[in-house]
Amino acid sequence: MSSDLRDLYQQVIVDHSRKPRNYHSLQDATRKVEGYNPLCGDRITIYLKLEGDVVRDISFEGAGCAISTASASLLTESLKGKTLADAEALFESFHALVTGLEPVHEAPKLGKLEAFSGVCDYPTRVKCATLAWHTLRAALGNETDKVSTE
Ligand code: ZN
């Protein structure tokens, strides 16, 4: 990776951790799930408003490190208006990106989420980057209202 690209990715993460997007609760959320990463102490709550199989609105609140906050912020930006199938495909692509694996299926474009591509070099940070995504998945699957990465 060129150092210019690395700088750009760094800027995206710093920007989203300092000014997280969609950082608020959602009064009419249809799902609310809390995620916890005990390894780092990151806590986030994801609010989701589903209409049929479309993510009408999504937001989050929480306290965590820069990586987990930026990841949640970019997740909410990426998922608004997406279908459940789109969300699942994005989850797979993102997970593959940060764990350094090839995606199983044809990968959708990750766009700004590619800023996390450097995370696969830091195994302890992978859980920070994926916390919001595991929490989202629980919200979509209607399984549980608490998620822990351990
Ligand atoms: Zn963290």
Q: CATH number of the domain that 53 lies in? A: 3.90.1010.10
CA–CA dist 68, 147 (Å, integer):
14
Supply φ then ψ for residue 37, to 5 degrees: -115, 95
Are the CB atoms for 62 and 72 separated by under 8 Å? yes
The domain containing residue 10 runs over which residues? 3-146
Q: State in Å: Cα 51 to ligand 1 middle.
A: 31
Q: State in Å: Cα 27 to ligand 1 middle.
A: 27
Q: Which of 96, 116, 110, 99 is nearest to 17 (CA)?
A: 116
Q: What pLDDT does residue 105 have?
A: 62
CA–CA dist 32, 27 (Å, integer):
10
- Ligand 1 ion: nearby residues, β-carbon < 5 Å: 40, 42, 65, 68, 128
Q: What pLDDT does residue 101 have?
A: 83
Q: State in Å: Cα 65 to ligand 1 middle.
A: 4
Domain count, the chain: 1
Query: CA dist 65 to 17, 62, 70, 99, 124, Å?
Result: 8, 10, 9, 19, 12
Q: State in Å: Cα 48 to ligand 1 middle.
A: 22
Which one of 6-10, 79-83, 116-120 scores highest in mean pLDDT? Answer: 79-83
Are the CB atoms for 65 and 149 separated by under 8 Å? no
Average confidence (pLDDT) over 104-115: 79
